[in-house]
Amino acid sequence: MKLSLSVRIAESYSDKKKSVLNLEKICENAKLSNYQGICMRPSQIGIENSKEEILKAYQIVTSNNLTVSMVTGDFDIPANNELAGIAQRNITPYIDLCKLLNSKLIRIAIKNLEDVKYTQYACDEAKERGVNLVHQMHTGTMFETVDETLKIVSKIKRENFGIVYEPANLELCGQNYDKDAIKKLYPHIFNVYLQNQKIHPDGSNELHTWTRGKIRFDSVPVWVTSKIDFQHIINVFQKLNYTGFITIHQSSPNKTLNSIKESAEYLRKLIKH
Q: What is the pLDDT of residues 223-251, one digit of tens each?
A: 999 999 999 999 999 999 999 999 999 88
Q: What is the pLDDT of residues 167-191, one digit of tens each?
A: 999 999 999 999 999 999 999 999 9
Burial of 93 (0-12, 13-18, 19+ CB in 10 A): middle
Q: What are residue 174's phi and psi, to 5 degrees?
A: 70, 30
- Express as a percent the part of the chain with pLDDT over 70: 100
Between the alpha carbon of residue 20 and those of residues 36, 156, 175, the distances in Å are: 22, 38, 33
- The predicted model scores a pTM of 0.95
Whether 173 contacts 149, CB under 8 Å: no
pLDDT given at position 199: 95
pLDDT band at 253 (very low <50, low <70, confident <90, very high): confident
pLDDT of residue 56: 97
132 pLDDT more than 80: yes
pLDDT at 270 over 90: yes
Burial of 79 (0-12, 13-18, 19+ CB in 10 A): middle
pLDDT for residue 13 is more than 90? no
Do residues 107 and 162 make contact, with C-beta atoms less than 8 angstroms apart?
no
Is pLDDT above 80 for 14? no
**What's the mean per-residue pLDDT of the chain?**
94
Fold of 2-272: TIM Barrel (3.20.20)
Rounded Cα gap, residues 99 and 105, in angstroms: 10
Does 15 score more than 80 pLDDT?
no
Find residue 161's DSSP bridge partners. Answer: 133
The domain locations on the chain are 2-272
Q: Which residues, in sequence order, are bridge partners of residue 68?
A: 38
pLDDT band, very low/low/confident/very high, at 273 (cuts 50, 70, 90): confident
What pLDDT does 252 receive?
Answer: 85
